Structure 1
């Protein structure tokens, strides 16, 4: 799968170009990114609810954070609570 031709490390700029081609303005694209961030911030709580191992929750959380950082997304991501 690629995003605006980038398959390995799509950035916000790739997402924004794709959004524009789909007639989605930047303000709406940012709102969509914020909605996804909010959903991802719930990962630890949802994972604990279905008894995912704590180490797995932490590992996946770190990976999600890394992907978001590499994508150079606009704004600041909600802080994900760290539970051990």
Structure 2
């Protein structure tokens, strides 16, 4: 059995959704804000990839996907570090 602090134990975190009859608590709203703040840079990165049209290369030659995605990860990390 896995320990609770096992880094290899992946967890998917989703936000909370309000309904007409059940409003979100302040804690759930805070959790949604934190999740959105973490998700924004990732979504921005995918938007850049779409603008660069770089993902079309993956469809033409999947053998280059690993090298291409590693290079894009480096560029994304540089961009995130500079705050652009």
TM, length-normalised to structure 2: 0.31
Larger radius of gyration: 2
TM, length-normalised to structure 1: 0.31
Report which structure shows greater RCO (CA 8 Å, sep ≥6): 1
